[in-house]
Amino acid sequence: MNIFRLLGDLSHLLAIIILLLKIWKTRSCAGISGKSQILFAIVYTTRYLDLLTTYISAYNTFMKIIFIATSYTTVFLMYVKFKATYDHNHDTFRIEFLILPTSLLALLINHEFTIIEILWTFSIYLESVAILPQLFLVSKTGEAESITSHYLFALGCYRGLYLLNWVYRYYAENYYELIAIVAGLVQTILYCDFFYLYITKVLKGKKLQLPA
């Protein structure tokens, strides 16, 4: 464990908490893509199957369980409890366009052709694009509430910090995991445009509004 990975995990946790608190306090999930949240639930479920087979550390187990539990909680809040506030008219990204290609890629490019390994690889590929429905929703409505922006920013920081973690591990531990690194790079790049808007607008107290 290094500082980049710890901070990355914590900003990931922060993002999830921000989202859950926003939905709970405002009793509304307006502006949030349920499609992205479903994809994240799929990501954690398929990646953390190793909870059943491998023990790494108490920290690792605890965080995995938290990520799985909170992702299902978010999906439940959006599709059941606060269903009436869900923005389904704008949340129209077709998730099969992400699930099918990432499944295919996982079958083609993986470390080992076993069920658990292919599901892990699929989860890495899917996570790299899982935020697209959310970014699509923001671009469709042309704006995001600042709380939604903070959520996206924390999530983007998590990916950025993981990149630093991999650089660190490459030099310090001679460790690298190419599938995760390439997918992580793609994922971080997807946030760049948003980062720019966040820093130039939201941090100056303005609402995140896309140029017309």
Partner 1 sequence: HPHYPFKDEL
Residues that bind partner 1 (CB under 8 A): 5, 9, 12, 50, 54, 56-57, 60, 63-64, 67, 111-112, 117, 120, 162, 165, 173-177, 180
**Pick from 111, 127, 108: nearest CA to 36:** 127
Pick the closer one to partner 1 by CB: 14 or 197: 14
In the complex, the smallest distance separating the C-beta of residue 7 from partner 1, rounded to whole angstroms, is 13
SS3 at position 119: helix
In the complex, the smallest distance separating the C-beta of residue 190 from partner 1, rounded to whole angstroms, is 19
Kindly provide the b/e burial profile for residues 17-27, where b requires at least 16 CB atoms within 10 angstroms of the residue's own CB: ebbeebbeeee
Kindly provide the b/e burial profile for residues 139-153, where b requires at least 16 CB atoms within 10 angstroms of the residue's own CB: eebeebbbbbbbbbb
Pick the closer one to partner 1 by CB: 100 or 107: 107
Look up residue 169 and give its DSSP letter: H
Pick the closer one to partner 1 by CB: 89 or 174: 174
Q: Beta 208-209 vs 143-144: how paired, if at all?
A: antiparallel
Pick the closer one to partner 1 by CB: 137 or 161: 161
In the complex, the smallest distance separating the C-beta of residue 8 from partner 1, rounded to whole angstroms, is 8
Pick the closer one to partner 1 by CB: 12 or 22: 12
In the complex, the smallest distance separating the C-beta of residue 66 from partner 1, rounded to whole angstroms, is 10
In the complex, the smallest distance separating the C-beta of residue 156 from partner 1, rounded to whole angstroms, is 16
Q: Which residues contact 57 (CB under 8 A, 6 or more apart)?
A: none
